[in-house]
């Protein structure tokens, strides 16, 4: 696969966008029950902790190793972040600190990605018999994280709409 600089520039923009999303959440997150865990799911705080964990201990490690190593790396040598994730109860209570940490790690990832040479984006990463480039691996990470952040934004919007509806009902029926 021939990777062009325009693709890398677009990828860098996408990673920067992920950092801006985490930053933007700081202003709306306090208005929602971010520590409530839905049945069979994770709370917003836990989802954000998982994103940070996956980025720090899986994606970033794979990205660093792939351009440091002279040989293709195999994803089977890395533990899936789902298997190693442990929610931090203390951090889940301080959502602003969590978002700050996530933002800071995003900036570090962005700087790492900006420093990868164009030719290195073509390095191979294998998983079993399949093989993808570092560019494709990083693009998959961005798509997953964008999807997860969209889920969080939808949850925040749902909570806010629910609160608004509750206020409207209470203003129409002040006795209850």
Model confidence pLDDT, tens digit, residues 57-91: 999 999 999 988 888 899 999 999 999 999 998 88
- pLDDT (tens digit, 9 = 90+) per residue, 127-172? 888 999 999 999 999 999 988 888 888 878 887 787 778 878 888 8
Q: Which residue has the higher pLDDT, 31 or 114?
A: 114
Q: Which residue has the higher pLDDT, 176 or 30?
A: 30
Q: pTM value?
A: 0.85
Neighbours of 113 (CB within 10 A): 20
Q: Please report, for residues 43, 92, 101, 120, 171, the alpha-carbon distance to residue 49 in angstroms, rounded to integers and kept in the order given.
A: 10, 8, 9, 30, 37
Q: How much is the CA Rg of the chain, to the nearest whole Å?
A: 19
- At residue 9 the predicted structure's pLDDT band, cuts being 50, 70 and 90, is very high
Confirm if 61 and 81 have CB atoms less than 8 A apart: no
């Amino acid at each position: 696969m021939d990777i062009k600089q325009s693709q890398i520039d677009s990828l860098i923009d996408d990673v920067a966008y992920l950092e801006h999303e985490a930053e933007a959440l700081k202003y709306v997150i306090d208005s929602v029950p971010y520590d409530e865990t839905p049945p069979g799911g994770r709370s917003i705080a836990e989802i954000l902790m998982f994103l940070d964990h996956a980025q720090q201990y899986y994606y970033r490690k794979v990205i660093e190793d792939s351009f440091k190593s002279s040989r293709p790396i195999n994803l089977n040598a890395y533990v899936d972040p789902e298997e190693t994730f442990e929610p931090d109860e203390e951090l889940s209570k301080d959502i602003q600190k969590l978002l700050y940490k996530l933002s800071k790690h995003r900036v570090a990832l962005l700087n790492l990605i900006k420093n990868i040479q164009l030719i290195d984006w073509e390095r191979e990463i294998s998983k079993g018999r399949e093989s993808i480039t570092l560019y494709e691996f990083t693009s998959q990470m961005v798509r997953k994280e964008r999807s997860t952040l969209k889920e969080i934004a939808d949850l925040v919007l749902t909570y806010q709409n629910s609160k608004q509806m509750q206020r409207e009902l209470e203003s129409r029926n002040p006795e209850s």
